[in-house]
Structure 1
């Protein structure tokens, strides 16, 4: 019996540690997916306008809106994938930075355009003294920050520009693909009341189907790993019961009631299972740095509950057959 408990504890320790590592991989891949999409969320709207407004007029309407407090707007010139003219109000998601700063609210009111570029473009910047410049269309734009993560992504080659007031006044929306994203989920009705929109669709229009399918296809290797962990946890039930069959026979011959024996086994299995899972999770959390532990805790908690309940059913049935 001691051997069963030791094997179960060590095995669950290893499984929990592996689960932490897998969730780290999932989170890192999620970061790359978001960065590949210009750091925009799945709730981002692609919009088209009834009127050929300027970017300055759109920014002003968003600024004047009392209902829209936290928002970012991306103006992407049609025909290029690397340049984004950026506007932000309130709180909005900012990309990770290698150096420097991202745009502040003063940059959106400035008479001077400034840029933040991806880390792969940093070697191409011109730096006569202390200030770096990006040469674009025969003009030099001051660079205030360099974007990037340890994990490569499309963001490494992107150029974000907070355009000057004069530039905004010349930017007609018919020449741009316009994306609007909120720090919190934006209500479509509020946007329609604020802007003269002809069309408003989410980047993932079929969000309840496509985004989940795309997420699964992007994480298929990690999902196989999580399924394998759960399969091993289920296998532990059979290994414990098979290796304990002789002990069950001896206990029943000694006069121990089957219900009492089943309860004792269930308690022992559950206790040493949870000890192994907690130990592996703790060491994993100390080894790897997760941004969010909610999904990990839910996965291990639900997995433990299912396996524990199945063990209870299986051990009762096994003891009854012996009896």
Structure 2
């Protein structure tokens, strides 16, 4: 009997993992494909500038022309597809990291360029006295973090901070595809200033098409919840069968059911918490609080069903008596 109950608890745990995974799928898409790319919004557009300016001149223009507008720029190297320069005049989306951290606003202010690596970044790195550095073009870039694995982002990419004062600011603008995240008005003005056309990146088009296509995930969440609910109902039947075999009556029966029911519900609280931490560890979740709400709601539903089932069987037994 105990073996059956353990199997049912494991099924509930796996069902909760399935529910959380479906939420992760939804949030991965709603994160604007993570910039197949790295934290930009649906307003993102890209331009290509062919003049002889360097990155420094472009960023100085943005700072001078739009001091109060939020702008985030990602420059993807045309020759090195796995290299991206990142600049922003505000705090960027804090992407999940395996170790260290992602860029902050302060990283774009100083004279030192920093690096964030994908898990399998194809770039020369060196470790000196516990610190990791990227070595490119006879320059060292301090590695501040390594990104977690999630399928929307290339795992072999690496990202360098840039600003007018940093070494990366000396790179040629024409060697990069410039991705800009800001208001539509600002992007249009920038494109007009440089005499180019702002285009919609493919990852934004894909997100706009699929952002409401969550019927599949909702269906699976319902299926997993039904499996967990059915497992808990079976648990209730097993517990009732056990208590009937003891021939307890009256207060003894009531106390046994209450104590055993509380124990089962506490075990399922532990299962729910374990599922939460496992999902946080292994999946991408842009809003973990949504996972807390979803798993808590599922736990409440299966707990209520367990209690109602025991109550129904108890009253049915009393009526038959």
- TM-score in terms of structure 2 length: 0.57
- In 2, distance between residues paired with 1:99 and 1:228? 32
Partner SS for 1:284: helix
Number of corresponding residues: 279
**Superposition pairs for residues 3-82 of structure 1, below 5 Å?**
17-26=13-22, 37-41=36-40, 43=42, 45-48=44-47, 52=51, 54-64=54-64, 65-69=66-70, 71-82=71-82
> 2:140 aligns to what?
141
- Contact 1:101-1:144 at 8 Å conserved across structures: no
**Cα offsets for 1:129-186 (capped at 9, x unmatched):** 56533232x42322232313276885542211124635424422x43222234xxxx5
> 2:160 aligns to what?
161
- Contact 1:98-1:149 at 8 Å conserved across structures: yes
- In 1, distance between residues paired with 2:63 and 2:102? 19
User: Structure 1 residue 80: deviation in Å?
Assistant: 2.9
Instruction: Structure 2: give runs of 5+ residues left out of the alignment.
Output: 1-5, 234-263, 281-287, 306-321
**Cα offsets for 1:45-88 (capped at 9, x unmatched):** 1322678464334433443425423x431100114321001112
Evaluate the alpha carbon distance shift between residue 230 and residue 190 of structure 1 in structure 2; reply closer, same or farther with a 3 A threshold: farther
Structure 2 residue aligned with 1:189, among 185, 195, 216? 185
- In 1, distance between residues paired with 2:232 and 2:127? 62
- In 2, distance between residues paired with 1:57 and 1:164? 10
Evaluate the alpha carbon distance shift between residue 109 and residue 294 of structure 1 in structure 2; reply closer, same or farther with a 3 A threshold: same
- Contact 2:96-2:147 at 8 Å conserved across structures: yes
- Contact 1:107-1:162 at 8 Å conserved across structures: yes
- In 2, distance between residues paired with 1:146 and 1:16? 35
User: Structure 1 residue 286: deviation in Å?
Assistant: 5.1
1:227 aligns with 2:223: yes
- Contact 1:118-1:155 at 8 Å conserved across structures: yes
Evaluate the alpha carbon distance shift between residue 37 and residue 216 of structure 1 in structure 2; reply closer, same or farther with a 3 A threshold: farther
- In 2, distance between residues paired with 1:131 and 1:96? 20
- In 1, distance between residues paired with 2:62 and 2:301? 44
- In 1, distance between residues paired with 2:138 and 2:23? 39
> 2:86 aligns to what?
86
Instruction: Structure 1: give runs of 5+ residues left out of the alignment.
Output: 1-9, 238-275, 308-323
- TM-score in terms of structure 1 length: 0.57
User: Structure 1 residue 191: deviation in Å?
Assistant: 3.1
> 1:288 aligns to what?
276
- Contact 2:91-2:104 at 8 Å conserved across structures: no
**Cα offsets for 1:283-302 (capped at 9, x unmatched):** 41355335233445677899
What is the aligned-residue RMSD (CA, Å)?
Answer: 5.8
Evaluate the alpha carbon distance shift between residue 43 and residue 302 of structure 1 in structure 2; reply closer, same or farther with a 3 A threshold: farther
Worse-superposed segment, 152-161 or 74-83: 152-161
User: Structure 1 residue 89: deviation in Å?
Assistant: 1.9
